[in-house]
């Protein structure tokens, strides 16, 4: 195949999409193992908008147990505020508004480019329109700015092979971003021909009365199974007691993802991307509240280790692909059904995005293989 002239060391082929190009090149960079003993990797954690109870001060805040777990495992948590870029603006209009998308992209691209890892933590329900469904009566009112920010962060983290850990809502958001769907309310939408649901949610505030249930690890060589195994010789087929606090769950799994854990009733409890170049793992349960357990710290340590390895990837060589990555995001935006439209099969656009063209590229430092 003909090599395209480029300014960077990233290799390109005439019929290679930007996602395939980055996956191959970043995989090569990670194989070098240059950052095995580097400094604390910078791990992004979204900070949603809120209000302090005392005084009613508007604030941006994140999930403290998740931040603490990242720090304990050796990472450096970096909070990313989900800023409303325009007051009174409907965030979902960004999906079709080129001007506002350009403004948002110029804000979040430098943030993601300089991260070594990303965590998408728990929170409220994801807007149903992002996966082509009408809102269910039991669904919560979504935080649209958070939905928009996290969706773009998730898509860019996937495209850049950035190590990403999703927890609860974060897992659902990651699945939706790649084209999957979710049950908006398990008790109302769980199929009658499936096993009876175990309890996944307790009423009231977070406390010692959280619901727990076992999680079956369905693939012994998955990233999740290897992470919770730690340095021991024996793996564990079951996570004996995981903390559960959710009423939504993954319904249709997005293309390219595989189930790595399930609840006794069959609800998907964890998935991960199948590419060897991506540490892209998500779980429905809440490990951040159980860091006293060795397998939980094994999980966070594996994520931080993957982020530390990613820190060796040259951001300068990725930067010239900025236009292609932006175009790739807009192609994903076009796969989201217009508001009011429904898609019973979900959004299943293949992740084979914008093909690179020779006219956009500059001379390379090395030839393509």
Q: Which of 201, 198, 217, 362 is nearest to 295 (CA)?
A: 217
Q: What angle do CA 192, 182, 290 make, to 5 degrees?
A: 100
Extract long-range pairs of 111-114: CB within 8 Å, 24+ residues apart.
Answer: 111/44, 111/80, 112/44, 112/153, 112/156, 112/157, 112/160, 112/162, 113/315, 113/318, 113/319, 114/42, 114/315
User: pLDDT value at position 51?
Assistant: 82
Handedness of CA 348, 167, 146, 153 (dihedral sign): negative
Residue 328 resides in a domain: yes
Cβ burial 266-283 (10 Å sphere, 16+ → b, else e): ebbbbbbbebebbbbbbb
Q: How far apart are CA 162 and CA 311, in angstroms?
A: 10
Question: Is-above-0.95 flag for pTM?
Answer: no
User: pLDDT value at position 37?
Assistant: 61
DSSP β-bridge partners for residue 120: 166
Q: How far is CA 117 from the centre of its chain?
A: 10
User: pLDDT value at position 16?
Assistant: 63
Residue 23 resides in a domain: no
Exposure of 32 in the CB half-sphere (CA atoms within 13 A): 12
Domain that holds residue 245: 63-79+102-130+153-179+214-338
Q: How far apart are CA 236 and CA 59, in angstroms?
A: 41
User: pLDDT value at position 102?
Assistant: 93
Instruction: Determine the 3-state secondary structure of 350 from DSSP.
Output: coil
Residue 241 resides in a domain: yes
* Share of the chain residues as helix, strand and coil, in percent rounded to the nearest 5: 35, 20, 50
Residue appearing with tokens 């409220």: 124
Reading phi first (left if > 0) and then psi (alpha if -120 to 50, else beta), residue 256 is in left
Q: How far apart are CA 161 and CA 309, in angstroms?
A: 12
Q: How far apart are CA 150 and CA 119, in angstroms?
A: 10
Report, as ranges of residue numbers, the positions in the chain whose pLDDT lies below 50. 1-15, 204-205, 343-369
Pairing mode, strands 211-217 and 257-262: antiparallel
User: pLDDT value at position 263?
Assistant: 92
User: pLDDT value at position 36?
Assistant: 56
Q: How far apart are CA 217 and CA 261, in angstroms?
A: 4
Domain total of the chain:
1
Q: Which of 320, 317, 313, 322 is nearest to 366 (CA)?
A: 317
Burial class (CB in 10 A: 0-12, 13-18, 19+), 5: exposed
How many of the other CB atoms lie within 10 Å of CB of 344?
A: 7
Residue 278 resides in a domain: yes
Residue 165 resides in a domain: yes
User: pLDDT value at position 81?
Assistant: 93
Residue 288 resides in a domain: yes
pLDDT tens column, 1-51: 323 334 444 444 334 689 999 999 899 888 876 655 668 999 999 998 888
User: pLDDT value at position 247?
Assistant: 87
Residue 233 resides in a domain: yes
DSSP β-bridge partners for residue 60: 49
CATH number of residue 121's parent domain: 3.40.50.880
Residue 26 resides in a domain: no
């Amino acid at each position: 195949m003909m090599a395209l002239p480029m300014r960077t060391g990233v290799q390109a082929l005439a019929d290679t999409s930007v996602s395939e190009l980055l996956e191959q090149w970043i995989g090569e960079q990670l194989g070098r193992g240059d950052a095995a003993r580097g400094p604390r990797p910078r791990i992004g954690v979204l900070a949603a908008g809120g209000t302090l109870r005392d005084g009613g001060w508007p604030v941006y805040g994140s999930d403290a147990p998740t931040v603490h777990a990242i720090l304990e495992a050796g990472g450096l948590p970096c909070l990313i505020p989900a800023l409303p870029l325009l007051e009174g603006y409907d965030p979902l209009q960004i999906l079709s508004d080129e001007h506002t998308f350009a403004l948002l992209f110029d804000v979040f691209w430098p943030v993601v480019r300089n991260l070594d890892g990303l965590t998408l933590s728990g929170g409220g329900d994801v807007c149903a329109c992002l996966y082509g469904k009408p809102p269910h009566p039991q669904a919560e009112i979504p935080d649209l700015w958070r939905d928009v920010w996290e969706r773009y962060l998730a898509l860019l983290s996937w495209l850049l092979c950035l190590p990403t850990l999703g927890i609860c809502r974060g897992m659902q958001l990651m699945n939706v971003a790649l084209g999957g769907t979710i049950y908006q309310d398990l008790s109302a939408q769980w199929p009658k021909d499936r096993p009876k649901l175990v309890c996944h949610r307790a009423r009231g505030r977070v406390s010692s009365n959280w619901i727990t249930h076992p999680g079956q690890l369905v693939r012994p060589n998955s990233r999740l199974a290897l992470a919770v195994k730690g340095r021991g010789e024996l793996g564990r087929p079951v996570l004996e007691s995981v903390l559960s606090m959710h009423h939504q769950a993954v319904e249709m799994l997005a293309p390219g993802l595989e189930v790595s854990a399930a609840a006794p009733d069959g609800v998907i409890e964890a998935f991960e991307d199948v590419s060897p170049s991506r540490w892209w793992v998500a779980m429905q349960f809440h490990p951040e509240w159980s860091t006293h357990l060795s397998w939980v710290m094994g999980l966070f340590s594996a994520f931080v280790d993957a982020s530390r390895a990613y820190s060796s990837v040259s951001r300068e060589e990725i930067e010239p692909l900025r236009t292609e990555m932006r175009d790739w995001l807009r192609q994903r935006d076009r796969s989201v059904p217009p508001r009011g439209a429904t898609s019973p099969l979900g959004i299943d656009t293949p992740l084979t995005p914008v093909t690179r063209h020779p006219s956009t590229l500059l001379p390379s430092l090395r030839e393509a293989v």
